[in-house]
Amino acid sequence: MSLPRLLRPACRRFASTSARPEPLKPTKTRRLLYPATFVIGSAAGILFFNYSPPAKQSLNPETFTAYTLTSHVPITTSPSQTSILTLLPPGNSPPPPFVPSKLQSIEIKNPYVQIARHYTPLPSKDDKIRLLIKREPDGEMSRYLFTLKPGATIELRGPHTEYELHPAAHASKLLFLAGGTGIAPALQCAQKLLDSSENASMRILWAVRHRSETEGAVSEELEKLKRAYGGRLQVGIFSDEEGGIGQGMVKDAVLSWGARRVLISGPDGFIGYWAGPKGDWVMGKESQGEVRGVLGPLHQQKGIDVWKL
């Protein structure tokens, strides 16, 4: 999952580098003009710095669009809080421009601390956007989202491509390792991949700290997808209390089942354990880094594709 990034400022302050000539002794007329010029210039400056272009009425990657929070459904309350937020676009706006062949995220803006964070929407067949949110103890964004009530406005920007399901993937087997709320991109991936080809199949291994995290709406989402795609979608759920995902399960999925692609989504420690840490930030994006961890030898020996979300 991507880290918050500072929003770009809407404008830069004016700066003058030209030399200023020694002023003449002001006449009475000049004395009257200077205060007026100051007032007009100050007003223009205030107007300039507080002006922002009008928001577009449809979701787009460049500007933020105001969506309305229609429901906030708690999933778990202990040991951590998770909820599903449902957002409705402005009236008469076209459907969100999501692409069937890409895993995509959207940005949410926190207007109080001027940061934005990426979230991966859950599968949806209509124009609503549904997000699985976990309240992080030190997370400014999640704290903000958990204070909002139905009817509140949330500003979104996107969609942004996180991974492309290339045509070759449509007829292959894909393994998805999900940690915690990393299940959200796994669900989106399942819908898009399995809708794209009847020859595609997918296996999800979902790691959670406690079994209670798998209850409610998320479990219903999984069951709905399993009914829709039958044996082409396999799901395994593993809690820390039960030992988590075993290395043997992942190796078996690659060596015996024949997974050619492995996607990992979850906390940094989860991603690092399975595939090594992500790399440096380059041009505003976090690079993939080397494939290490448990998947490192499999990547080298079998040539599987590994992608860290």
- Say how far apart CA 270 and CA 129 lie, in whole Å: 26
User: Distance (Å, rounded) from C-alpha 46 to C-alpha 299?
Assistant: 56
Could you please report the per-residue DSSP string of 72-94? EEEEE-SSS-EEEEEEEPPTTPP
Q: Where are the domains of the chain?
A: 65-162, 166-308
Strand order in the sheet with 201-208: 233-239, 201-208, 173-179, 261-265, 305-308
Fold of the domain spanning 166-308: Rossmann fold (3.40.50)
User: pTM of the entire structure?
Assistant: 0.80
Please tell me the predicted confidence (pLDDT) of residue 125. Answer: 81
Q: How far apart are CA 26 and CA 169, in angstroms?
A: 76
pLDDT of 4 reads 42
Helix (H) or strand (E) holding 305: strand 305-308
- Annotated binding site for FAD: which residue ranges? 117, 119, 132, 134, 141-142
* Numbered residues of the known binding site: 117, 119, 132, 134, 141-142
DSSP label of 300: H
pLDDT tens sequence for the chain (309 residues):
444 443 333 333 333 333 333 333 444 444 434 444 444 444 444 333 344 454 457 899 999 999 999 999 998 877 788 999 999 999 888 889 999 999 999 999 999 988 899 999 999 888 999 999 999 888 899 999 999 999 999 999 999 999 998 777 667 899 999 999 999 999 999 999 999 989 999 999 999 998 888 888 888 999 999 999 999 999 999 999 899 999 999 999 999 999 999 999 999 999 999 999 999 988 878 899 999 999 999 999 999 999 999
Q: How far is CA 184 from CA 53, 67, 175, 176, 265, in A?
A: 32, 20, 15, 11, 9
Domains 65-162 and 166-308 share a fold: no
pLDDT at 229: 96
Fold classification of 65-162 (topology level): Elongation Factor Tu (Ef-tu); domain 3 (2.40.30)
pLDDT of residue 170: 66
pLDDT of residue 211: 87
Angle of CA points 85, 108, 50, to nearest 5°: 130
pLDDT at position 95:
87
Q: How far is CA 31 from CA 24, 28, 35, 42, 154, in A?
A: 11, 5, 7, 17, 49
